[in-house]
């Protein structure tokens, strides 16, 4: 089965991870609850308020040289080497807006598995990698309280 992970930013710029670059993806969903104790009442009589759910998708990756354009034609030049991918991610793809929306789509053999729209929660590159021509990192898209 061929997996494809593609992230699109608010400016319609795309970054597509090739199958060899991503081996796993984590989807977390947590319910946010507020427990409010009542005056002179035992703890078991507390009111529980559901504040919604947080969803988070984390994609650990290993950037490497690929034959396909990681920008999928949305950049002024092709993005294939590790250095081109780093430059594109840091200079073009990741936007400055804290509330800018990103769409993360995961497909397998052309069938959609997951599509989530949210904010970029975390992004990291590990420049201390001991493997030449491979750069590990991760990105995380978060959706908060009841958003889809």
Q: Kindly state whether residue 41 falls inside one of the protein's structural domains.
A: no
Distance CA 65, CA 105 (A): 22
Q: Kindly state whether residue 37 falls inside one of the protein's structural domains.
A: no
Looking at residue 74, what is its pLDDT? 95
Task: Look up tokens 């950049």; give the residue.
Answer: 75
Convert the pLDDT of each residue in 38-93 to its tens digit: 888 888 888 888 887 788 889 899 999 988 999 999 999 999 999 999 999 999 99
Beta strands in 72-128 (DSSP E): 101-108, 111-125
Q: Kindly state whether residue 94 falls inside one of the protein's structural domains.
A: yes
Q: Kindly state whether residue 73 falls inside one of the protein's structural domains.
A: yes
Q: Kindly state whether residue 86 falls inside one of the protein's structural domains.
A: yes
Convert the pLDDT of each residue in 123-140 to its tens digit: 999 987 677 788 999 999
Distance CA 56, CA 120 (A): 10
Domain carrying residue 8: 3-29+46-143
Q: How many helices (H) and strands (E) does the chain have?
A: 1, 7
Q: Kindly state whether residue 56 falls inside one of the protein's structural domains.
A: yes
Q: Kindly state whether residue 22 falls inside one of the protein's structural domains.
A: yes
Q: Kindly state whether residue 53 falls inside one of the protein's structural domains.
A: yes
Task: Look up tokens 């969903």; give the residue.
Answer: 29
The mean of the pLDDT values for the chain is 86
Split into its structural domains, the chain has a count of 1
Distance CA 61, CA 70 (A): 13
Q: pTM surpassing 0.85?
A: no
Task: Please report, for the domain that includes residue 123, its CATH number.
Answer: 2.40.30
Tell me the pLDDT band of 2, cut-offs 50, 70 and 90: low
């Amino acid at each position: 089965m061929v997996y494809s992970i593609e992230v699109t930013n608010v400016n319609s710029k795309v970054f597509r991870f090739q199958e060899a670059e991503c081996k796993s993806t984590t989807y977390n969903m947590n319910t946010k609850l507020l427990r409010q104790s009542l005056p002179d009442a035992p703890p078991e009589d507390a009111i529980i308020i559901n504040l919604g759910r947080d969803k988070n998708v984390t994609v650990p990756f290993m950037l490497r040289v690929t034959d396909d354009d990681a920008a999928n034609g949305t950049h002024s030049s092709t993005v294939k080497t590790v250095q081109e991918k780093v430059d594109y991610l840091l200079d073009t793809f990741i936007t400055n807006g804290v509330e800018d929306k990103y769409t993360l789509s995961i497909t397998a053999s052309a069938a959609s598995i997951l599509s989530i729209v949210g904010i970029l929660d975390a992004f990291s590159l590990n420049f201390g990698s001991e493997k030449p021509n491979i750069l590990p990192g991760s990105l995380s898209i978060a959706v908060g309280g009841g958003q889809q």
